[in-house]
Amino acid sequence: MYGESEQAGTIDWLMSGDPSIAYQTARDLLEEDRPDLQQEIPKSGWGKALLNARNANGGWGDSYYTPKWACTHYVLLDLVNMSFPSDQAGIQQLVQKIARQNIAHDGGLGVLPDEKKSDTCITAVFLNVACYFGLPEDHLKTFIDFLIAHQISDGGFNCQVNRSGCRSSSLHSTISVLEALQRLEENAYQYRRSELQVIAEAARAFIRRHRFFRSERTGQVIHPSFLKLPYPTRWYYNILRGLDHFRAANQDHDASMDGALKELSSLQRADGRWPRMAKIPGQAILDFETGHGASRWNTLLILRVLKHFSNAEKEVTPAASFSDSDPSDHADGSPQPAQTAK
């Protein structure tokens, strides 16, 4: 039986990992402030490897968005998810340069300067990064305006809305936007703040209606990938990414989460840890974890989710019921052709 000694052993195992894992373990599981661990992230392990891979202009890859995943866009997201120190001058200057040069004609972020149309997911990920590295609010307003203008009536978001005019949201796009909005909230940006809070609640309601991985129309699992746990997730949604956002946003437990929480618990190994899963295919600068066995990333993320929602026995709100008004299964977030290009 998995007991206190095994739990302590798991924490020790996490603390012995990369500084990014150790720092977040101390912060989120032990509730200890360890700035010394965070400052170690650029100096060793994964953080140092990513910094050493920069090109002459201070970014990564051939351009801002190529190749995936070894490019500036996704490496910056990696750094954010690693809790890389946000006061690194070189990274701040790079992000500020992108914010100035890559504004598309529609106000979102273009993968190249002077692009006509941007992408909701790409804009949201960059806004998340820009907030994390402390860009001034004036640099962010155009991206905030773009996201507000492209929310869909069901409460979520879809990267195709300014191309095909789709009317149903995607869980992939919605979670990227929610992570950006949460970063704005955490860093106390004030521009259109009250509107963004309302938008975030509507987007979370969209995820709740789908019970984090089920079709609102049929109740079936939307896509098997939503129950897989690769790390990094890149632009892809899964139940752990969804639940971790709800944790970060300090949301209370409700019954819509129960199925997803049960799925996570079912994956726990006998030693109290969680397994590594196949990575998302593509070129990357480094593999955060290799081989088979236990995953420090998945174990850390799941333990902090379960810790936050450990009040599951409290009175909960009823789960959202099925609705026959869902116009298509794409509303549930199933991958669409253009989304596979992200």
Span 12-24, pLDDT tens digits: 999 999 999 999 9
Position 84: which residue type?
F
DSSP 72-119: HHHHHHHHHHTT--TT-HHHHHHHHHHHHH-B-TTSSB-SSTT-S---
Could you tell me the pTM of the whole model?
0.91
Instruction: Determine the pLDDT at residue 298.
Output: 98
Q: CA–CA separation, 185 vs 179, rounded Å?
A: 10
The backbone torsions φ and ψ at residue 190, rounded to the nearest 5 degrees and listed phi first, read -105, -15
Q: What is the CATH number of domain 4-312?
A: 1.50.10
Q: Write the CA distances from 295 to 36, 244, 280, integer angstroms.
A: 24, 16, 15
Of the listed ranges 208-212, 289-293, 295-299, 316-320, the one predicted with least confidence: 316-320
Of the listed ranges 103-107, 241-245, 330-334, the one predicted with least confidence: 330-334
The structural domains of the chain, with segments of one domain joined by +, span 4-312
Q: Measure the CA angle with vertex 236, ends 233 and 241; round to 5°.
A: 60
Size (the chain), residues = 342
- pLDDT of residue 244 exceeding 80, the answer is yes
Give residue 160's pLDDT band: very low, low, confident or very high (50, 70, 90): confident
Quick check: helix, strand or coil at residue 142? helix
Instruction: Determine the pLDDT at residue 211.
Output: 98
Place of tokens 């987007």: 203
Instruction: Determine the pLDDT at residue 325.
Output: 33
Instruction: Determine the pLDDT at residue 311.
Output: 52
Instruction: Determine the pLDDT at residue 73.
Output: 98
Handedness of CA 15, 313, 262, 220 (dihedral sign): negative
> Is residue 289 within 8 Å of residue 231, measured between CB atoms?
yes
Average pLDDT over residues 184-194: 98
Structure tokens at 143: 């991206």
Q: CA–CA separation, 66 vs 52, rounded Å?
A: 18
Give residue 145's pLDDT band: very low, low, confident or very high (50, 70, 90): very high
Nearest to 155 by CA among 315, 341, 323: 323
Whether the bond between 67 and the residue before it is cis, its omega within 30 degrees of 0, is: yes
Instruction: Determine the pLDDT at residue 2.
Output: 55
Place of tokens 């909005």: 181
